Amino acid sequence: MTMTPDRLSGAFFLLFGLAMYFAIIPVFVEQAEDGSIAPNTLPNILSWMVAISGGWLVLKPTPHQIQDLRFFAGALMHAAILCAGIYAMSWIGFLYVAPFLTLIIMIVIGERRPYWLALGVIVMPAFIWFLITQVLDRSLP
């Protein structure tokens, strides 16, 4: 088994998912008495999904070659936009930042269809708000 970038990133995400499940989530997720779902349920499911996907990438890497530098610059810009959006959410709040953050990310990745832009900017933040605040009975920043 040769070490390819896919296998390396798969190993990283496999270890990251396992670390989230076994070390980070148990320490940083507080237990709550109220609510119909335990607070660590969704993070645990997602951490297992990340770990399984990483393991699958280790076992079955793609045959793609490494992209040019513009691809990585775009990924870095995407990560910077996400970091700025998360920081803005901590100051301004989810309801005010999420639609704009979604719009910016969708425009950056090249989405121009009005139906998908409306779905991403209006429906998805509303669904996330409903799921977290109403169903899970948790607060958003």
pLDDT for res 66 = 67
pTM of the model: 0.57
**Domain hosting residue 27, numbered range:** 5-59
Q: Are residues 38 and 79 in the same domain?
A: no
Boundary of a domain, candidates 59, 89, 104: 59
Q: 24 in a domain, yes or no?
A: yes
CA distance between the termini of the chain: 45
pLDDT at 97 over 90: yes
Count of helix runs (H) and strand runs (E) in the chain: 7, 0
pLDDT at 62 over 90: no
Q: 42 in a domain, yes or no?
A: yes
Q: Are residues 89 and 117 in the same domain?
A: yes
Can you tell me which residue has the tokens 């990283």?
A: 12
Residues 6+ apart with CB under 8 A from 115: none
Q: Are residues 46 and 17 in the same domain?
A: yes
Q: 20 in a domain, yes or no?
A: yes
% of residues, the chain, pLDDT over 70: 99
Domain count of the chain?
Answer: 2
Q: Are residues 42 and 85 in the same domain?
A: no
* Local structure of residue 110 (DSSP, 8 states): T
Q: Are residues 99 and 76 in the same domain?
A: yes
